[in-house]
Structures are given as structure tokens and as C-alpha cells.
Structure 1
């Protein structure tokens, strides 16, 4: 997983982001202003910066100018088109307007890390190995047969591990925003994944909600 620097002066938002990123396996450093951000970047290797724009003393744009070369996503309440264009023109990898869903942030982080080659292309747990690039699946080194949607669903669970996902959210993420179908489809695919990968103890049912991959 990645080392991510969170630059956000609103402490509750900073802590919420940090907790969720740590839950899926990232290492997080959180700071409240630009001076601290620049100091952290000078002290260690950072894979990605989550950068608020409206910060005390030095705004996010100025911070970004000083940290060129490090992938960054702007997180901001500034929603105008001109602000988005400015951020992306400066070279930011993405721009997310507050308030945002944590799952959307996680998805955007994953997309940036994949583009910048900062995230692992494989995942291993209890004898299960997933190669995301080749879309191969193994259990104790033996190939596992799967359907495309089973793999898509498994990838969503892995990318959001330790986070409870509703059946509706799993449909949205694995089947697509325009999918019109019964949430029981998710249940059927979950049962197949559990059986094929021997993951009854890992893919947990969240009562009256959905599922969670516990890692």
C-alpha cells in the first residue's frame, strides 16, 4: 500500500480521512498547514498528497507549486469550474469537491496510485492470490475459475477492505452506475466467492446492510 500525506486544517475531516485510509492498509501522515506539509515531504518519501486548498498561511495551490513531482489530489470546498481548471492546470492528478463520499475518495486514490505505479498489482490473503493486472486468481497456487463479475466484485472488496459496503453500493461499484438489478445478485456472487476462495471467515455479512472483507 501507499504512504499518503493528508494536508487538511479541519481536524474532524483530517481524522476521518486518516482512519479510513488506514483501514484499507495505507500509511498516513496528517498535518494541518503548508509549512508542516513541506517539512514532511522533505523528510520522507510520500506516494500521494491529499491537499486542501483553503489553508492558513499558505493555500493549497502554493503548496503544490513547491512539491511538484509528488502525485496530489486537491480536496476542497471550492467547486467552481475555474477553481477546478486551475488545480488541474497546475498539474494535480485529481480534484474532489467537499462534501464527498469516502468510497469515492478511496476509488480516486486507487486510480492515481495505479497510474503512478505506487500501488501493488497483487494481493495475497490466506492462500488467495489476486493479480489485478492479468486478472488471474489463485488459491494455494492453483488457478481458480471465475466469472468477470465475480472478479470485479472481489476487486471492490479488496480495494475497500475492512469497510462495510451495502449491497446497493456493491452493485454500483462492481456492476456500474447504470445497472438495474436485484440486490440478491450480490448475495449470489458473494456466496460463490466464499466457496471458491474458502473465505467464509473473511467475507463477513454485515447485518441488514451488506458485506465487508476483513483483513
Structure 2
């Protein structure tokens, strides 16, 4: 997965973000001001920066001018919600601009999009005897190809991207097939059964009582 720098001066928000990054398998670094962030960028390989605007010592827009030549993905996460601020963020080269407060699942989804745009090589997910090649949309089990429908693969991709996080059936519908998908929540149950059977993941895709499902991955 990716290496992500979280530049956020509010510890509670920083902890919330990094906790969820760890859950889905990303490596992370924390900085509480712009100077700390620059020091980390000088020493570490970073794929993406989550950047607040209102920071001590150097604000996020000033820091972005230092980050931009490094050719890495940046998502602003800020309470500054004016059109002028959003335009400034994008003109400085940000990949996305998220307004606080935010939904953590939406943040994770936007991170995945930004990383895909960066053409990350970490597009292969392996668990037990299953290998999922996300960019190629191909799945292998015990060295043999597994035939999945488009809907099954889309659901599998969402489970992988949000692994170790419990997702409701409604959220799975939304993330996998979009707001305008005209299916019912029981459609998710049908596709989950198929994924469990085809991948041998009966013990990996956990049913969360009265909620939905979670792909359980150690480490």
C-alpha cells in the first residue's frame, strides 16, 4: 500500500485519520506543522500528503508550494470552505479538496482515487491463496484464474480498499455501484455469498450482525 504523510495540527483529527489508514494497510507519518512536514519529506519516501490549510509556522498553501515540485499527490483537508480557497488549492496543484467535517470512508475512497492517478505500482492484493490484480481486474486462486462478474469484482475492490472496516449493506451498495444503482441491499448478500464461494473466503469476509460485512486481514 501507500506511504502517506498527514499534516494536521489537531491531534484528535490526526489520530482518527492515521488509525483508519493503518486499518486499511497504509504506512503513515504525522506532522503537526509545516516545518515538521518538510523535514519528513526530506527524509522519507511519501506517496501522498493529507494537508490542512490552517497550520502553525507555515500554512498549508505555503507548504504546498514546497511540495508541488516533488510530484506527489496532495489532498487538502480543511475547514476553509470558500470558493476562493478551493480554487487556490487546486491552482497550487492539489488532487482533491475535502471540507471538514468529513466522512472517513469518503476520505479513504478519495485517497484511493488520488493514488490511482499517481499510477501506484501497489495494485496487487494477496490474501491466503488469492491474488487480486486491481488494475487488470483479474483474480487468481491457487495459481488459477477466477471468473468474477463485473459486479462481483467491484464489490471485491471496495472490500479490499476498506479492509478491516465494517461496512453496512447500504454503504457497500453506494461505494461499489453508485448512488443511482437500483438494486436492493439483499443484492449485496447474494454477491458476498458468491465471493466467499469463489475465493474460499468464508472466514475472511465476516458478517457483522445487523450491519453488513468486513474483509478481515491480519497485520
Structure-2-length-normalised TM-score: 0.96
Task: Name whichever of 179-188 and 166-175 sits farther off.
Answer: 179-188
Cα distance in 2 between the residues matched to 1:158 and 1:104? 15
Residue in 2 aligned with 1:48? 48
Cα distance in 1 between the residues matched to 2:86 and 2:188? 36
Cα distance in 2 between the residues matched to 1:144 and 1:207? 29
* SS of the residue 1:161 aligns to: coil
Provide Cα deviations, 1:135-156, integer angstroms capped at 9, x if missing partner.
Answer: 1111111111111100000000
Where structure 2 has 5 or more consecutive residues not aligned to the other structure, the ranges are none
Contact 1:113–1:119 (8 Å) recurs in 2: no
Where structure 1 has 5 or more consecutive residues not aligned to the other structure, the ranges are none
* Aligned pairs for 1:1-215 within 5 A: 1-68=1-68, 69=70, 70-215=72-217
Offset at residue 119 of structure 1 (A): 4.8
Q: CA-atom RMSD, angstroms?
A: 0.9
* SS of the residue 1:67 aligns to: helix
Cα distance in 2 between the residues matched to 1:147 and 1:118? 25
Aligned length: 215
